[in-house]
C-alpha cells in the first residue's frame, strides 16, 4: 500500500481501497465554470461513476482552476473524500492546499501535445525570422536559419518535453534537457541538472522553458542566464511567466544580448497595454494559447473518464501530484 500523497512511480499513483463512501460516488465541484463542469460530469458518468454532493463523495473532480480559493470550503464539507483530481497540469494555485491526507492527481501530460505544437510554431517563427517579415512594409532583406540540426536546450523534463521530443525527432536536432534529476528523456542527446543551467544554454540556438512553477524554478531565467546564451539565440517560454524575470528579459532584448523571444506566458499576465515587451520588434507574444479551453476540455475529460474508471476499480491513477515537490 502506498500512503496517500506519495507516488510509486513517475507516471502512476497507487491507490488504497476504500469501502465508505462507495468509490463510484464522485463530486464535481465547483460549478462556477459551466462548460468545464458539464464535461466533467459527463466523464464521471461515462466511467460508471455517480455524481453526488460533496458530503457523500469518495472523490472530488475540481471543476474550476481559477477558483482555488473555494477549495477549503468544498473539501471541508467532504469528510469521505480520499482522491482529488485537479484539472490542469500547472497546480501552483493549489500548492498551499496539498497534503498527505488525500491522493492528488492533476492534468499532468494531458495538454502536452498541443503545447508541444506551440513550441514547434515558436521555433519556426523565430528561426525563419517571421517577426521581421510580418512587420515589413517593403520587400525585406532575406534572413533566417534552419531548424534542421539545430541545438536546442529545454528547461523541464516532463510531459511537454516528452511530446516535443516526438515532434522534433525528424528535424535531427541536438537536444539538451535541463531538469531537477538526471533521469533520461527519450531522444535527448544529454541531460543536465539545474545547477549546470548556464552550461546548458551557452551553445543553444534556442532555449525553451517548459517547467512546472515552483519556488526552485521561479525566476530561473534571469540576467545571468540570458547573458550566458548566445547573442543569436532565441528564448521560447511556454511554462509560466514567473520563470523569467521580465525586466531582465526586456533589457536583454533591447541590448541585443539575445536575438529574440517568443512568449506564450508573461509576468504579469495578461500583459498590460503599454508594457515594453509590446514595443519590441524581436519579441512575439501569444496570449497563453499553447492550450486553449476549447483544445483542453476534451483532453481533460478523457483523462478524468480514465481515472474515474481506475478509481472505481481500485487500481493506479494517472497523473500523480508529488506533494513534496509541489507538482
pLDDT class for 122, splitting at 50, 70, 90?
very high
> pTM score, two decimals?
0.84
Q: Are residues 87 and 132 in the same domain?
A: no
Q: What is the mean pLDDT of residues 117-137?
A: 96
Task: Please report, for the domain that includes residue 135, its CATH number.
Answer: 3.40.50.720
Q: Are residues 179 and 232 in the same domain?
A: yes
Task: Give a yes or no: residue 4 inside a domain.
Answer: no
Report pLDDT digits (tens) over 228-253: 999 999 999 999 999 999 999 999 99
Alpha-carbon distance of 7 to 13, in angstroms, equals: 5
Task: Give a yes or no: residue 216 inside a domain.
Answer: yes
Report pLDDT digits (tens) over 40-85: 999 999 999 999 999 999 999 999 999 999 999 999 999 999 999 9
Q: Three-state SS across the chain?
A: CCCCCCCCCCCEECCCCCCCCCCCEEEEECCCCHHHHHHHHHHHHHCCCEECCHHHCCEEEECCHHHHHHHHHHHHCCCCCCEEECCCCCCHHHHHHCCCCCEEECCCCCCHHHHHHHHHHHHHHHHCCHHHHHHCCCCCCCCCCCCCCCEEEEECCCHHHHHHHHHHHHHCCEEEEEECCCCCCCCCCEEEEHHHHHHHHCCCCEEEECCCCCCCCCCCECHHHHHHCCCCCEEEECCCHHHECHHHHHHHHHCCCCCEEEECCCCCCCCCCCCHHHHCCCEEECCCCCCCHHHHHHHHHHHHHHHHHHHHHCCCEECECCCCCCC
Task: Give a yes or no: residue 323 inside a domain.
Answer: no
Active site residue 128: no
Q: Are residues 92 and 203 in the same domain?
A: no
Report pLDDT digits (tens) over 156-196: 999 999 999 999 999 999 999 999 999 999 999 999 999 99
pLDDT at position 186 is 96
Task: Give a yes or no: residue 325 inside a domain.
Answer: no
Q: Are residues 62 and 116 in the same domain?
A: no
Q: What is the mean pLDDT of residues 193-209?
A: 98
Q: Are residues 53 and 69 in the same domain?
A: yes
Q: Are residues 34 and 153 in the same domain?
A: no
Q: Are residues 227 and 243 in the same domain?
A: yes
pLDDT class for 20, splitting at 50, 70, 90?
low
Q: Which of 24, 240, 303, 310 is an active site residue?
A: 240
* Residue 294 confidence (pLDDT) above 90: no
pLDDT at position 10 is 36
Q: Are residues 167 and 96 in the same domain?
A: no
Task: Give a yes or no: residue 120 inside a domain.
Answer: yes
Alpha-carbon distance of 78 to 319, in angstroms, equals: 22
pLDDT at position 208 is 99
In terms of residue numbers, what domain contains 160? 112-285
pLDDT at position 327 is 87
* Residue 1 confidence (pLDDT) above 50: no
Q: How many domains does the chain have?
A: 2
Task: Give a yes or no: residue 196 inside a domain.
Answer: yes
Q: Are residues 148 and 197 in the same domain?
A: yes
Task: Give a yes or no: residue 243 inside a domain.
Answer: yes
pLDDT class for 315, splitting at 50, 70, 90?
very high
Task: Give a yes or no: residue 306 inside a domain.
Answer: yes
Q: Are residues 161 and 307 in the same domain?
A: no
Report pLDDT digits (tens) over 242-284: 999 999 999 999 999 999 999 999 999 999 999 999 999 999 9
Q: Are residues 245 and 105 in the same domain?
A: no
* Residue 11 confidence (pLDDT) above 70: no
Alpha-carbon distance of 248 to 272, in angstroms, equals: 17
| Residue 115 burial (10 A CB sphere; 0-12, 13-18, 19+) | buried
pLDDT at position 8 is 35
* Residue 17 confidence (pLDDT) above 80: no
Active site residue 92: no
Q: Are residues 79 and 221 in the same domain?
A: no
Active site residue 288: yes
pLDDT at position 9 is 37
Amino acid at each position: 500500500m502506498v500512503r496517500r500523497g506519495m507516488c510509486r512511480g513517475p507516471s502512476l499513483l497507487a491507490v488504497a481501497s476504500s469501502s465508505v463512501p462507495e468509490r463510484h460516488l464522485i463530486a464535481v465541484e465547483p460549478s462556477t465554470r459551466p462548460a468545464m463542469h458539464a464535461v466533467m460530469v459527463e466523464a464521471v458518468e461515462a466511467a460508471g461513476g455517480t455524481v453526488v454532493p460533496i458530503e457523500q463523495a469518495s472523490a472530488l473532480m475540481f471543476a474550476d482552476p481559477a477558483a482555488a480559493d473555494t477549495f477549503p470550503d468544498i473539501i471541508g464539507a467532504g469528510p469521505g473524500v480520499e482522491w482529488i483530481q485537479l484539472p490542469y497540469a500547472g497546480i501552483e494555485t493549489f500548492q498551499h492546499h496539498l497534503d498527505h491526507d488525500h491522493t492528488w492527481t492533476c492534468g499532468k501530460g494531458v495538454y502536452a501535445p498541443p503545447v508541444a505544437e506551440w513550441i514547434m510554431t515558436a521555433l519556426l517563427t523565430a528561426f525563419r525570422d517571421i517577426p521581421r517579415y510580418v512587420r515589413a512594409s517593403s520587400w525585406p532583406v532575406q534572413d533566417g536559419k534552419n531548424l534542421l540540426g539545430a541545438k536546442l536546450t529545454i528547461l523541464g523534463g516532463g510531459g511537454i518535453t516528452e511530446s516535443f521530443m516526438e515532434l522534433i525527432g525528424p528535424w535531427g536536432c541536438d537536444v539538451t534537457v535541463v531538469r531537477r534529476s538526471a533521469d533520461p528523456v527519450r531522444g535527448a542527446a544529454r541531460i543536465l541538472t539545474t545547477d549546470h543551467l548556464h552550461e546548458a544554454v551557452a551553445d543553444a540556438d534556442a532555449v525553451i522553458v517548459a517547467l512546472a512553477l515552483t519556488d526552485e524554478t521561479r525566476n530561473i531565467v534571469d540576467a545571468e542566464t540570458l547573458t550566458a546564451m548566445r547573442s543569436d539565440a532565441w528564448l521560447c517560454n511556454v511554462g509560466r511567466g514567473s520563470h523569467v524575470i521580465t525586466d531582465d528579459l526586456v533589457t536583454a532584448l533591447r541590448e541585443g544580448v539575445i536575438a529574440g523571444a517568443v512568449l506564450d506566458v508573461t509576468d504579469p499576465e495578461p500583459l498590460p497595454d503599454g508594457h515594453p515587451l509590446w514595443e519590441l520588434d524581436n519579441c512575439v507574444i501569444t496570449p497563453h494559447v499553447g492550450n486553449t479551453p476549447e483544445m483542453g476540455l476534451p483532453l481533460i475529460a478523457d483523462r478524468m473518464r480514465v481515472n474515474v474508471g481506475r478509481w472505481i476499480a481500485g487500481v493506479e491513477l494517472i497523473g500523480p501530484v508529488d506533494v513534496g515537490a509541489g507538482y
